[in-house]
Amino acid sequence: MAWLKHGLLAALLALSWPSTATAVENPVLLVAHPDVRTTRLTRDTTRAIFAMRQRTWPDGQAVRVHVLNNDDPVHGRFVKERLAVYPHQLQLSWDRMVFSGTGQAPTRVFSQAEMRERIASTPGALGYLEREYLDDRVQVISME
């Protein structure tokens, strides 16, 4: 009878645990303006760009970073899975630069549809989207 109780408890825990299946099935991809010549970035370079410490693409073109709001689940997934930091850590680095006058925060957008439009219409733009929001107006940048 004890095995039944433990098995039931394990099943309930498995059902209540947040699923990673959604993240695997619908990854958040790095996307750029179609004229950007860079096609792959390392995690360190991507992290530096999103932290606003690196302001140019490897070829020298200015990067225009776009992000969703900190409380958006897609933003949280991108930052944690792709940059390996937490959203509040990224926000702290932006705030530090803005308040010290040494830099600026990225452009905030309010939806993935707006992100796609801004990336498509802003030369040098970089952001992220779930696969379902991709179209031929943006290019996917692979991460090493």
pLDDT digits (tens, 9 = 90+) for 42-96: 999 999 999 999 999 999 999 999 999 999 999 999 999 999 999 999 999 999 9
Confidence (pTM): 0.82
Q: Within 10 Å of residue 70's Cβ, how many Cβ atoms? A: 14
3-state secondary structure of 48: helix
CATH fold of the domain at 19-143: D-Maltodextrin-Binding Protein; domain 2 (3.40.190)
In angstroms, rounded to a whole number, what is the distance separating the alpha carbons of residues 85 and 73?
14
| In contact, 139 and 32? CB cutoff 8 Å | yes
Mean pLDDT taken over the chain? 88
- Per-domain residue ranges for the chain? 19-143
pLDDT tens per residue across span 103-116: 999 999 999 999 99
